[in-house]
Amino acid sequence: MPNVAHFFEGVEKLLEICFDESSSPNGDLRNITRGEWENLLCHVKCEIISYIKNDSIDAFLLSESSMFVSKRRWILKTCGTTTPLKCLEQLLQLAKLEGYHVISDIFYSRKNFTRPEIQMSPHEGFFEEVTYLDTIFPEGRSYCLGSINLECWYLYTFSKPELKALPHLIVEEKSTDADPDQTIEILMQDLDKDIMSAFTKSKFTTGREVTAYSGIDKILPEMHIDDFLFDPCGYSMNGIRENGEYMTIHITPEEKFSYVSFESNVALNNYTKLISQVIKTFKPGKFIVTIFANKSSLAYETMKELEIEYSTLSNWRRTDMQCCNFPSYNLLFAQYSRALEKVL
Amino acid sequence: MPNVAHFFEGVEKLLEICFDESSSPNGDLRNITRGEWENLLCHVKCEIISYIKNDSIDAFLLSESSMFVSKRRWILKTCGTTTPLKCLEQLLQLAKLEGYHVISDIFYSRKNFTRPEIQMSPHEGFFEEVTYLDTIFPEGRSYCLGSINLECWYLYTFSKPELKALPHLIVEEKSTDADPDQTIEILMQDLDKDIMSAFTKSKFTTGREVTAYSGIDKILPEMHIDDFLFDPCGYSMNGIRENGEYMTIHITPEEKFSYVSFESNVALNNYTKLISQVIKTFKPGKFIVTIFANKSSLAYETMKELEIEYSTLSNWRRTDMQCCNFPSYNLLFAQYSRALEKVL
């Protein structure tokens, strides 16, 4: 056996595509069959391990993270060395069969990898990812938030209403009367050792046990939860509500490369309490918060002020804060580390 | 002669360093002699061509752009294939002789080059520039605003109070009761052909003539102006006021790569009118605005709202807007192109 230190890249690649109304009366992304999804996920190099649904949303737990499917929106979040961009063309073909010819929004985002050199093409670097996306979507725009030589977060998003490789698919700027939409992500590293030790098979047998023990079930208590504890360690959960809200948490507990991600589209006009509860649950040494909100969202006008408030009221030191105005979304990016780490 | 198309890189590299109070009672960067500056500028590959001063500020017109020196602040802005980072160590040595051991702020910024491949080391790419700066200043932070695969603007700035290569020089976060400070830059491309044709020796003999003809002298009428018309074309001007305010404009008029930059530290709580007048004077096809303001500045709280107002009132399409909160400064970045260019 070669003497290679054990490592797992917890940092996820997050891909979200929203379509305009279907041209077919029964068009719905949830008509896509389990077999078709399994086939599509082969390109990503991951598998479905569990599944829950309600009238608004289907939630798949994957061998590497999660997939959420609602009528017009598809979200794929995968960690490790998966290759989510490789399933894009197949996704667009499947969507077209459901009458989805018009894309309203695309977001591809991720934090900088801890070990970028182990990723596979087209994920060997953000420029390679952008080049790949540009072969499918012309005129996408790519951003790097945070310090590009230190910790950062990459985003690729659309701005122009046309498609190069798939000429029958049209991309349009979302109108201002779109449904309210918001997404919060909290990406945590250097987590508390004792808390992380719970997310192992040596301590618990099932996901359900550790969900309750850790307090994950109290973060957004209304959620119907599907959880999974990996062997020997690692944890994933999806939660869904009837109104289409979801949450998802993925945990890489190993001390040397601990990583926890929290994501939800829950509609709040103040994310301060939610952030506090997530941070108290996992006790990271540093974390990034991103909040997307469209013009119809409760969070749109207030998120900047709320963020400032959070920083003032807590013991965290905000090392970076940026916001971006996109055609239909505002984005807030903020990075925190323990105030104690401040070097004099 | 090789068949190489004529090209000049108008895009400037902008370096600004502010020092804390001098440890010597007569410490003043303006004590540095002309001979010392000429020697320092050899490293940059440019020369002094003209000079004005008042009680607050010395303003040098350079063969490639400008240099401003006040008691505790030094600004160097150079275009073409100059190498401004190469004079940094010498600048810090000269400052030390004047009792300046503590750096309060450093900013190095530039737009993406039109032709990066003709630049010289360490300016062959932003990563090379950052690597070079990191040999002098540890823990600097580097940002890319705008779309990193399209038009963008790079910034390197400080955050930590220490210096690697020059251990006697200390870098400190500016306290909140610092003097008000703000800088606006407007970087314009694809300029009006007729307006640009004025900035040639075939049309005018002196800088003064074209300054009046173009309306440059009306942008900030209080300024004492030093202007220069290059042969066969190209234009530079510095303007200064007794209160320490400056402005500087540099023009590359050639149609294929036209570029105009405007910069000033004038204190306003609303930059909308100034931006409008600059844009009317030069009629660009696209432009970037950056505004830095510290917490003591009139512009600090209001610049975001003002920017939104400008976009709403004008016919310009804002293609990007981002803002960053740094420890002592807010930064606004906005990119505009003609609304007519909107592709349906």
* Residue B167 scores a pLDDT above 60: no
Which amino acids of A are annotated catalytic? Answer: 65, 79, 236, 250
Contacts for A299 with CB less than 8 Å, ≥ 6 apart: A182, A267, A268, A269, A271, A291, A293, A306
Q: For the domain with range B13-171, which CATH number is right: 3.60.90.10, 3.40.710.10, 3.90.550.10, 3.30.390.30?
A: 3.60.90.10
Which amino acids of B are annotated catalytic? Answer: 65, 79, 236, 250
Nearest-CA neighbor of B187 among B135, B152, B235?
Answer: B152
Quick one: pLDDT at residue A167?
A: 45
Look up the CATH number of domain B182-341: 3.60.90.10
Nearest-CA neighbor of A285 among A196, A219, A200?
Answer: A196
Quick one: pLDDT at residue B302?
A: 59
Report chain A residues touching chain B, CB-CB < 8 A.
Answer: 126-127, 130, 134, 140-144, 146-150, 159-162, 318-325, 343-344
> How far out from the chain centre does Cα A77 lie?
5
Partners of residue A69 on adjacent β-strands: A58, A74
Contact B343 A147 (CB under 8 A): no
| Beta carbons of B299 and B293 less than 8 angstroms apart | yes
The more confidently predicted of residues B102 and A295 is B102
**Closest chain A CA to residue B149:** A142
| Domain spans of chain A, in order of start | 13-171, 182-341
Rounded to an integer, the average pLDDT of B269-296 is 91
* Residue B105 scores a pLDDT above 50: yes
* Residue A93 scores a pLDDT above 80: yes
Rounded to an integer, the average pLDDT of A192-201 is 98
Rounded to an integer, the average pLDDT of A32-40 is 98
> Residues of B with CB below 8 A from A320's CB?
141, 324-325
Q: Would the CA dihedral through B190, B195, B201, B203 be positive or negative? A: positive
The more confidently predicted of residues B38 and B272 is B38
| Beta carbons of B189 and B259 less than 8 angstroms apart | yes
Distance from CA of A146 to the nearest CA of B (A): 7
The more confidently predicted of residues B176 and A37 is A37
* Residue B158 scores a pLDDT above 60: yes
Residue A187 and residue A203: Cα distance in Å, rounded?
24
Rounded to an integer, the average pLDDT of A164-181 is 54
* Residue B161 scores a pLDDT above 50: no
Rounded to an integer, the average pLDDT of B297-320 is 64
Nearest-CA neighbor of A16 among A170, A150, A155?
Answer: A155
Q: Which of the four pLDDT bands, split at 50, 70 and 90, describes residue B137?
A: confident
Residue B242 and residue B175: Cα distance in Å, rounded?
26
* Residue B294 scores a pLDDT above 90: no
The more confidently predicted of residues A325 and B109 is B109
Average the pLDDT over each of A169-173, B56-60, B65-69 and give the range with the smallest value. A169-173
Is A8 a known ligand-binding residue? yes
Residues B169-203 have pLDDT tens digits of 555 444 445 788 899 999 999 999 999 999 999 99
Please give the backbone phi and psi of residue A184, each rounded to the nearest 5 degrees, phi first: -115, 135
Largest CA-CA distance found in chain A, in angstroms, rounded: 64
Provide the residue type at A259 as one letter: Y
Residues A97-131 have pLDDT tens digits of 999 998 988 999 999 999 999 999 999 999 999 99
Residue A185 and residue A279: Cα distance in Å, rounded?
12
Residues A281-290 have pLDDT tens digits of 999 999 999 9
| Beta carbons of A58 and A69 less than 8 angstroms apart | yes
Q: Which of the four pLDDT bands, split at 50, 70 and 90, describes residue B228?
A: very high
Q: Which of the four pLDDT bands, split at 50, 70 and 90, describes residue A329?
A: confident
Quick one: pLDDT at residue A174?
A: 45
**A interface test, pick of B108, B126, B127, B148 with most A CB neighbours within 10 Å:** B148
Contact B149 A141 (CB under 8 A): yes
Q: Which of the four pLDDT bands, split at 50, 70 and 90, describes residue A311?
A: low
Q: Count contacts between A and B (CB, < 8 Å).
A: 67
Contact A322 B322 (CB under 8 A): yes
Nearest-CA neighbor of A45 among A125, A121, A137?
Answer: A121
Q: What is the mean pLDDT of chain B?
A: 89
Average the pLDDT over each of A98-107, A178-187, A301-310, B202-211 and give the range with the smallest value. A301-310
The more confidently predicted of residues B96 and B104 is B96
Quick one: pLDDT at residue B344?
A: 30
Quick one: pLDDT at residue B303?
A: 61
* Residue A24 scores a pLDDT above 90: yes
* Residue B343 scores a pLDDT above 50: no
3-state DSSP call for residue B255?
helix
Rounded to an integer, the average pLDDT of B256-277 is 93
DSSP state of A84: G
* Residue A39 scores a pLDDT above 80: yes
* Residue A340 scores a pLDDT above 70: no
* Residue B309 scores a pLDDT above 60: no
Residue A293: burial class (beta carbons within 10 Å; 0-12, 13-18, 19+): buried
**B interface test, pick of A127, A130, A137, A143 with most B CB neighbours within 10 Å:** A143
The more confidently predicted of residues A119 and A276 is A119
Contact A148 B149 (CB under 8 A): no
Quick one: pLDDT at residue B298?
A: 74
Contacts for B3 with CB less than 8 Å, ≥ 6 apart: none
Helix (H) or strand (E) holding B213: helix B207-214
* Residue A278 scores a pLDDT above 80: yes
Residues A203-244 have pLDDT tens digits of 999 999 999 999 999 999 999 999 999 999 999 999 999 999
Q: Do domains A13-171 and A182-341 have the same CATH topology?
A: yes
| Beta carbons of B89 and B43 less than 8 angstroms apart | no
Q: Which of the four pLDDT bands, split at 50, 70 and 90, describes residue A312?
A: low
Provide the residue type at A281 as one letter: T
Contact B323 A319 (CB under 8 A): no
Rounded to an integer, the average pLDDT of A302-320 is 62
Quick one: pLDDT at residue A344?
A: 30
End-to-end CA distance of chain B: 45
| Beta carbons of A143 and A325 less than 8 angstroms apart | no
> Residues of B with CB below 8 A from A132's CB?
none
Quick one: pLDDT at residue B341?
A: 41
| Beta carbons of A54 and A240 less than 8 angstroms apart | yes
Quick one: pLDDT at residue A204?
A: 98
* Residue B308 scores a pLDDT above 60: no
Rounded to an integer, the average pLDDT of A293-299 is 79
Please give the backbone phi and psi of residue B15, each rounded to the nearest 5 degrees, phi first: -120, 125
Q: Would the CA dihedral through B191, B194, B198, B201 be positive or negative? A: positive
Q: Which of the four pLDDT bands, split at 50, 70 and 90, describes residue A321?
A: confident
For residue B25, cis peptide bond before it (omega within 30 degrees of 0):
no
Quick one: pLDDT at residue B318?
A: 74
> How many CA atoms, within 13 angstroms, populate the side-chain half-sphere of residue B174?
25
Instruction: List the single residue in B140, B142, B147 with the smallest CB-CB distance to A142.
Output: B147
Quick one: pLDDT at residue B299?
A: 72
Q: Which of the four pLDDT bands, split at 50, 70 and 90, describes residue B145?
A: very high
Which ranges in chain A belong to alpha helices (H)?
A: 34-44, 88-97, 126-136, 193-196, 207-214, 272-282, 303-313
Rounded to an integer, the average pLDDT of B238-252 is 97
For residue B327, cis peptide bond before it (omega within 30 degrees of 0):
no
Quick one: pLDDT at residue B72?
A: 96
Q: What percent of chain B has pLDDT over 90?
A: 70
Helix, strand, coil shares of chain A as percentages rounded to 5?
A: 25, 35, 40
Average the pLDDT over each of A252-261, A268-277, A283-292, B123-132 and give the range with the smallest value. A268-277
Quick one: pLDDT at residue A182?
A: 93
Rounded to an integer, the average pLDDT of B149-174 is 62
